[in-house]
Amino acid sequence: MSILFRNSYSLTKIINWLNKNNLNKYEYNCSLDSIFTKTGIHIKLNEKYSLSIQTHPTIAGSSFCETALIDNITGKPIYNVLNYYDVIRHNEPENLFEHLLSLKEDLKI
């Protein structure tokens, strides 16, 4: 018997946008009680940094999603780099997509 996992609605929207914009170096990162629903991903930005995108309401609250910059060596959030002074909550998908385009331009991805 195989277990079927599905993406949350928000994560499906994010992944479709990432694939359309050639930012498809991501891996799933399930969190909390999301046993059968994938709610998060990590996008590898470069050798140093990844971007964590979480859509689970326990993490993102009432926002569309929350992003954090992750150190690829330690796997922990880092701050004071690329305008990340804390996690960033994006209220609408468009806010996230503008942010991702900005990161893509800044890092020359």
pLDDT at residue number 79: 92
Residue 67: per-residue pLDDT: 95
Cβ neighbours for 25, distance < 8 A, ≥ 6 positions apart: 43, 44
What confidence score (pLDDT) does residue 38 get? 79
Q: How far apart are CA 68 and CA 9, in angstroms?
A: 20
Sign of CA dihedral 88, 85, 100, 35: negative
- pLDDT by 10s per residue, the chain, length 109: 445 567 788 989 999 999 998 887 788 876 555 556 778 899 988 899 999 999 988 889 899 999 999 999 999 999 998 888 899 999 999 999 999 999 888 887 6
Instruction: State in Å, rounded, how far the first CA of the chain is from the last one.
Output: 40
The pLDDT assigned to 99 comes to 93
The pLDDT score that the predictor gives to residue 69 is 94
Here the tokens at position 101 are 């385009």
Structure tokens at 48: 């140093």
- Residue 31 is predicted with a pLDDT of 56
Yes or no: say if 71 and 48 are a contact pair by the CB < 8 Å rule.
yes
Q: Is the dihedral of CA 88, 94, 103, 47 positive or negative?
A: positive
Backbone angles phi and psi of 106, in degrees to 5: -60, -40
